[in-house]
Structure 1
């Protein structure tokens, strides 16, 4: 039977990196997919050329809708908070998401979860994957919202840390791969494989995932350095499919077991 998945993210483009394949697969299988961002990403890095074209937040929301269309999402919402910026370069914006009262923000998200009768909510782990303040707040707000709304399944979108480091060791020597993609940088990021409960095969949806990434053109370039999206989009398609063809989650309240679960709707009742 069809279920409803709500995928909660901090900024436009976050959905493309960790969950795009899962969202595309769920939509293709007939489930309702709702994409929610806390902020419009106005403090994101962008080239001076992009910034000269107008407000970055407005552009990034338009990119989010193009990404959502590529993935088959049925609804897109922004909670309206301001982008907080990175931990070492805070935006200082009034209304920054990282500074919001988690209970108040959770109430906003919980109302949407109730409207949608959500069966599954995706968030991030307590450390926000790699420590971005808005990503950490997504965990706090999302988990509380699920409690308020009674959403039965909460999944922390993550990456298998061990496989990530192995992949980085395999590709860091390729031309164009930035030096900061060194495996040591991710020694404490994302999840230890022992915590992971789900590994979702999304290789059949690599094209949709790539299209979602490509929609975020403002985030694929900068005046200095190389952006993650730009690097990933330059990967040959077979290598892209191999490296990004699986997505990982840690389910709240479920003990890890082997084999890993391959379906984010596993365990839900056949009728509501």
Structure 2
């Protein structure tokens, strides 16, 4: 048995980009650990969604545990930072946000978990955080540094296949999809790892539903027909230093026992 540690910025990030590889690792007999930098305090919910006196972060922590149970996660940890909000918002520089965190200090918090777990594999995000979110960029910086501190050799940078996304939008113009920033994802020619997670899409979609405060049934993710959902989420994409050119890996845990 090997150990996969998957590091994310906010509750619900884990199921969108890594839900399949986490469930796959679990079903292949590996230990799976989820680490989340913030509790997603700045998410948005409709009026009346929360119980009286309930804080959004409390709901999102509970949703994360429910999602983790679906994905086969053995341990869930939060690093204790607060949500920074989207790039350029005043909340970015508020005390205690992940974006303002000292990278060395935050990396050591993550390194403690990596050492405890004797992590074989770590997932982070690419260097622009997939689409430029400050907390996602910080996950890359902190995660890569933590791997250096501990000596974790196998680090995968989660990304999105820009070419595939653009092609799917062109092919399904009937579906309403959110606008994409210019720095969205990575061209397929630069991606080095593609994991087929189509066998785990029911778990991935169920984990998304567990995050009901952020992913409603009317959201882009859950409103997709089954075929479109498989096309969009049936493969999870990563970069790994020293791999490529082209897709050279199809399993994060290959060769580990």
Report the TM-score when normalising by structure 2: 0.93
CA distance in 1 between counterparts of 2:215 and 2:252 reads 29
User: 1:193, CA displacement in angstroms?
Assistant: 1.2
The yes-or-no answer on 1:200 pairing with 2:188 is no
Equivalent position of 1:43 in the other structure: 42
Equivalent position of 1:189 in the other structure: 184
Instruction: Report if aligned partners of 1:165, 1:186 keep a CA contact under 8 Å in 2.
Output: no
The yes-or-no answer on 1:265 pairing with 2:249 is no
Deviations 1:210-235 (A, max 9, x none): 011000000025xxxxx9x8211112
Deviations 1:7-28 (A, max 9, x none): 0000000011111011111101
User: 1:196, CA displacement in angstroms?
Assistant: 0.8
CA distance in 1 between counterparts of 2:208 and 2:67 reads 7
**1:1-272 paired onto structure 2 within 5 Å:** 2-51=1-50, 53=52, 54-91=54-91, 93-174=94-175, 177-178=176-177, 180-181=178-179, 185-221=180-216, 230-258=219-247, 260-266=248-254
Instruction: Report if aligned partners of 1:161, 1:186 keep a CA contact under 8 Å in 2.
Output: no
CA distance in 2 between counterparts of 1:163 and 1:21 reads 18
CA distance in 2 between counterparts of 1:197 and 1:23 reads 18
* Aligned residues between the structures: 255
Q: Secondary structure at the match of 1:7?
A: strand
Q: Secondary structure at the match of 2:44?
A: coil
RMSD over aligned Cα, in angstroms? 1.8
Q: Secondary structure at the match of 2:29?
A: coil
User: Per the alignment, do residues 65 and 90 of structure 1 end up closer, same or farther by CA in structure 2, a change over 3 Å counting?
Assistant: farther
Q: Which runs of 4+ in 1 moved over 6 A?
A: none
Gaps of 5+ in 1: 222-226
User: 1:46, CA displacement in angstroms?
Assistant: 1.9
Deviations 1:94-113 (A, max 9, x none): 20000000000000000100
Deviating more after overlay: 236-245 vs 69-78: 236-245
Report the TM-score when normalising by structure 1: 0.88
Q: Secondary structure at the match of 2:201?
A: helix
Q: Secondary structure at the match of 1:126?
A: coil
CA distance in 1 between counterparts of 2:233 and 2:222 reads 11
User: 1:186, CA displacement in angstroms?
Assistant: 4.3
Q: Secondary structure at the match of 1:199?
A: strand
Instruction: Report if aligned partners of 2:35, 2:78 keep a CA contact under 8 Å in 1.
Output: yes
Deviations 1:16-63 (A, max 9, x none): 111101111110110111000000000112222235642101100000
